[in-house]
Copies of this chain bind each other. A is one copy, B any other.
Amino acid sequence: MFYFIGLGLGDAKDITVKGLEIVKGAKRVYLEAYTSILTDGKEKLEEFYGREVILADRDMVEQQSDELFQDADEEDVAFLVVGDPFGATTHSDLVLRAQQKGLQYKVIHNASILNAAGCCGLQLYSFGEVISIVFWTDTWKPDSYYERIAANCKRGLHTLCLLDIKVKEQSIENLMKGRQIYEPPRYMTVSQAACQLLEIAERKRNAGEIPAFTENTICVGLSRVGAEDQRIASGTLKELSQTDLGNPLHSLVIAGHMHPLEIDMLREFAVNPTTFNTFSEDQKVK
Interface residues, chain A, with chain B CB atoms under 8 Å away: 6, 8-18, 20-21, 83-88, 90, 92-93, 95-96, 99, 107-112, 114-116, 118-119, 121, 123-130, 132, 151, 155, 157, 225-226, 261-262, 264-265, 268
Could you tell me the dominant secondary structure of chain A's interface residues? Answer: mixed
Q: A13-B17, A16-B8 are in contact. Are A109 and B99 (CB under 8 A)?
A: no
B-chain residues with CB within 8 Å of residue A92 when the two chains form the complex: 121, 123, 261-262, 265
Q: Out of B12, B14, B126, B262, which one reaches A129, CB within 8 Å?
A: B126
B87 touches A261 (CB 8 A): no
Name the B residues within 8 Å of A99 (CB-CB). 268
Chain B: minimal CB distance from A233 (Å): 16
- Are A118 and B90 touching (Cβ within 8 A)? yes
Chain B residues within 8 Å of A90, by CB: 118, 123-125
Q: Are B110 and A112 in contact (CB under 8 A)?
A: no
With both beta carbons as reference points, the residue of chain B lying nearest to A265 in the complex is identified as B92
**Which residues of B have CB within 8 Å of A155?**
129, 151
**Extra contacts besides A96-B264, A114-B115 (16): CB < 8 Å:** A6-B111, A8-B16, A8-B110, A9-B109, A13-B17, A13-B18, A87-B124, A90-B123, A95-B265, A107-B119, A107-B226, A109-B115, A111-B111, A125-B129, A125-B130, A125-B132
Most buried by B among A86, A87, A121, A268: A86
Complex Cα distance A54/B6, Å? 29
Which residues of B lie under 8 Å from residue A127 when comparing CB positions?
129-130
18 example contacts (A-B, Cβ-Cβ < 8 A) are as follows A8-B16, A8-B109, A16-B16, A84-B118, A90-B125, A92-B262, A96-B264, A96-B265, A107-B119, A107-B226, A110-B110, A110-B111, A112-B124, A114-B124, A126-B129, A128-B128, A128-B129, A151-B155
